[in-house]
Amino acid sequence: MPKTKRKHWTVQHIPDQSGRTAVITGGHTGIGFETTLALTRHGAHVVLTVRDLAKGERAKERITRAVPGARVTLQNLDLSSLASVRAAAAALDASDFPVDLLINNADVMYTNTLQRTADGFELQFGTNHLGHFALTGLLLKRMLDVPGSRIVTVSSMGHRQGGPMDLTDAHWTRRAYDSTAAYAHSKRANLMFTYALQRRLGSGAHTIAAASHPGGADTSGSRRSTAERGIVTRALFAGVVRPLLMQSADRGAWPTLRATTDASVAGGEYYGPSGFLESKGHPTTVRSIGETHDAAVQQQLWDLSQELTGVRYPVQYCDRSDTPSRPSGW
């Protein structure tokens, strides 16, 4: 029988993670760091995939000081380069530990100008979605036989912005560039990817796919993006937004941690804060906008992602349903 969901879930409800390995992108800073810290405190071995190994080393030192005996491994990964994604996936595939949990957390937010990845993709879509699509596809075969394995992809409340997606111009070659819309569409793609992947995994699989968003998390990234938007925006953020709609980075990690560890989570579910505008509060299931549930758009995105990355998934079945499914082996 499905387990009843707790109304007021906290990190204290994370079960023992000893013997489990979590691979996390962007786990060296902000919400990702808090996610890593909580998982190591509960016994998990965490692989920090980082673009800058020096920053990764500093994060590892902070974690081991806070959690003596914590098992943390560093792996170089630049999500904006498919060559780097393939190299990292190959290194992880050759490792002697299983991949129980994959947390697609890293992102690029609100670039001021149109920038491109090493492969020529618009930077936010290329990093936030395509990089994670490729990494997940390359690691999935290793996860399919691991009981209780999960893929959790971090989206954003910002996925509601930007208007309809135009997947025929995903890299903004024909339109005037809109950084906010590009970010929103990349986070919308994270959700479409999660729902489409869960349908391919199907019910009864060892592995499930879920998603989360942190709400209004007060991180260096959110403060930096606000600082770049002018004096009025900065004043509103400091005087109104931060006290009313922002929560700390550690609380911002709770939806991801619940989606990653709570036994009651079903495949295809999306977690965010329970409070006003999903800005802060205890993590609970939330609803994404209608376009994310459009199976035809999901399929268009999936086909485009496979074409651009060259990554083919070892699961192909699609039952046209967003119905959440329970994991086996938990």
pLDDT in tens, 272-317: 999 889 999 999 999 999 999 999 999 999 999 999 999 999 986 5
**pTM of the shown model:** 0.90
Q: What pLDDT sits at residue 6?
A: 85
For residues 297 and 308, what is the distance between their CA atoms, to the nearest angstrom? 16
Name, in order, each residue with C-beta under 8 angstroms of 50's C-beta and a sequence gap of 6 or more.
26, 27, 28, 56, 59, 74, 75, 76, 77
Average pLDDT, the chain: 90
Placement of tokens 């938007």 in the chain: 229
Decide yes or no: CATH 3.40.50.720 for domain 16-214+252-309. yes
Residue 169 has a CB neighbour count (10 Å cut-off) of 11
Q: Which residue has the higher pLDDT, 241 or 313?
A: 313
Element (H, E) at 24: strand 21-25
Model confidence band, residue 167 (pLDDT cutoffs 50, 70, 90): very high
pLDDT of residue 204: 85
**Angular region, 133: left φ>0, alpha ψ -120 to 50, beta rest:** alpha
pLDDT of 203 reads 83
| Predicted confidence (pLDDT) at residue 244 exceeds the cutoff of 70 | no
Segment 17-35 shows an average pLDDT of: 97
Quick check: 267 pLDDT over 60?
A: yes
Structural domain boundaries in the chain = 16-214+252-309
pLDDT exceeds 90 at position 220 = no
Residue numbers annotated as active site: 183
Count how many residues are written for the chain: 330
Task: Give the residue with greater pLDDT, 181 vs 218.
Answer: 181
* Predicted local distance difference test score (pLDDT) of residue 228: 56
Query: Of 18-32, 65-79, 213-227, 294-308, which gets the smallest average pLDDT?
Result: 213-227
Q: Which two tokens stand for residue 34?
A: 């808090």
Residue 52 has pLDDT above 80, yes or no: yes
Query: Which residues, 6+ apart, have CB-to-CB distance to 38 below 8 Å?
Result: 11, 14, 250, 253, 257
Percentage with pLDDT > 70 across the chain? 86
Tens of pLDDT along 110-145? 998 999 999 999 999 999 999 999 999 999 999 999
Q: Mind listing the pLDDT tens digit for each residue in 81-104?
A: 999 999 999 999 999 999 999 999
Residue 222 has pLDDT above 90, yes or no: no
Residue 293 confidence (pLDDT): 98
Mean pLDDT of 15-40: 97
Confidence of residue 107 (pLDDT cuts 50, 70, 90): very high
In the predicted structure, residue 181 carries a pLDDT above the cut 90: yes
